[in-house]
Amino acid sequence: MKRPTASQIRAFNEVAATGSFSRAAKALAVSQPAITAQVRAMEEAHDVRLFDRVGTGAELTAIGERLYRHTRQMRDTEKEAAVILHSARTLTIGELVIAAGAPGPAMSLIAAFRAHYPGVRLAMHFGNWQHVVNAVRDRKCDLGILTEAPQADDIFREALFEQSLVALIPEGHPLSRRQEVSLSELMDHPLLFRSGQSQTQKRLNGVLTKSGLRPQPLLWLESREAIYEACAQGIGIGFMFDAASTRADRVCRVKIREITDFFPEYAFCLRSNQSLRPVEAFLNLARDMQSQRANHFAG
């Protein structure tokens, strides 16, 4: 039994729905002879007549009506698919999964994206540097936000802004009122270090080694939130990129004399995901916000 092709059924359904070969051709954005050829091929292959040609229109025969009852759902499905795809393109609907190393830089962008595209479902995951990189590479998320994002041929990255590495000093501490401290001064105080794949700790370790300093930290803590809370409780002095959190309670951010570099925060994704509409929209929004920030400081 020879089966009609999808193109033949599509042409047949459109003629049946519109009652005209010319209107069907216009709806499917093809020529009228192409529609006629598809319907004729199906009629000749099965030795049936599906339409009676009347004037400028077409009426279903009995076998045509029977066929249309069973196939018109395909036309409805195609129309629904077109609506869904159009909505996804215009970001009326969609989803975006983001992995980030710190909530501070990510949340301001998330808030702005949510305001612009409320129909897009957002999912957020937080983790250390390696966790975020792995999530992007394993396609568990669409986009990553990290300080010092990886450089690779298959990775696209866009700098969002630059930030400093600062000391977190508890309020009331003798050094908390200072504008700047040196690492050598901090060696006489309890220090809190990050464990695991922390870019903050890696950068700090590099400067400590270069300065010939070998501190013995009081605690090694897994997350920046734990570092911040320990500082807020007066347990010791920690370190953080200054944009990693918007918290300002019971802790003072103090510049470190030996660390004058700025560290870029990046949004990054697989190059194969760069053209995904939600990713593209997020990156465009990030660029706009960066431009506004630059103009603000320039003014």
94-160+264-298: what fold? D-Maltodextrin-Binding Protein; domain 2 (3.40.190)
Residue 202, CB-side half-sphere exposure with 13 Å CA sphere: 10
pLDDT in tens, 98-133: 999 888 878 889 999 999 999 999 999 998 889 999
Residue 168: the pLDDT is 96
Is residue 1's pLDDT more than 90? no
Angle at 115 between CA 267 and CA 249, to 5 degrees: 70
Residue 289: the pLDDT is 84
Is residue 92's pLDDT more than 80? yes
For 282, left (φ over 0), alpha (ψ -120 to 50), or beta? alpha
Decide whether 6-89 matches 165-256 in CATH topology.
Answer: no
CATH class for the region spanning 6-89: mainly alpha
Give domain 165-256's CATH superfamily.
Answer: Periplasmic binding protein-like II (3.40.190.10)
Residue 248: the pLDDT is 86
pLDDT in tens, 175-194: 999 999 999 999 999 999 99
- The whole-chain average pLDDT of the chain stands at 91
